[in-house]
Amino acid sequence: MTAALASAGGLRVFQNRTGSNLLQGVTSVAVNSADIFGHLESDVLLFEIDEATMPRAIPEIQPDVVVITNIFRDQLDRYGELHSVGRALDKVLESLPESATIVLNANDPMVANFGQQAKARRLYFGLETTEVGTPVPEQSADIIRCVRCDSDLAYDVAYLVAPGPLHCPECGYRLPKLDIAATSIQLGP
């Protein structure tokens, strides 16, 4: 979607469309978008990067923008515990320069709390509607406890496996205010 928007705006975009989101795939995009002298022939290099690869890739790429949509337990066999992956992502985001921007899914408490000590600008996106969702997250939801005090969270609504608007009845934690929000959703037939 990001590539389509940039292309529609007249920008030349190179990306790892094949899903090769490890370091080799990222490197291939950069090499393939460069001319014979190593100059990039692209206005935008767009990478989808595996969560465990980001701590190694971000210092090499030095991105202007980092977008984090979610992290799930789907790779525990390779990467270990979800919170250790989160801490590694948070650490690399905190290393970004002031000129960078971090765009975070604010509907996910773990993701929304990344980069709290970062010099980079933070923007939050997400859904801000109760038109869709369920009263509680699915059993497979990764975040059901407060990121600050570890108490059970109370949900206004849950979107698929990602939490939606919520609060912690114990410490008062709430998700950050959204900078970019979908406020109405119409489901198709």
What are the pLDDT digits (tens) for 65-89?
999 988 776 655 555 677 788 888 9
What are the pLDDT digits (tens) for 17-53?
777 777 777 888 888 888 889 888 888 888 888 888 8
CA distances from 6 to 11, 14, 42, 43, 185 (A): 5, 10, 11, 9, 24
Q: Which two tokens stand for residue 173?
A: 């934690």
Question: Which among 32, 33, 51 has a CA at the least distance from the CA of 42?
Answer: 33
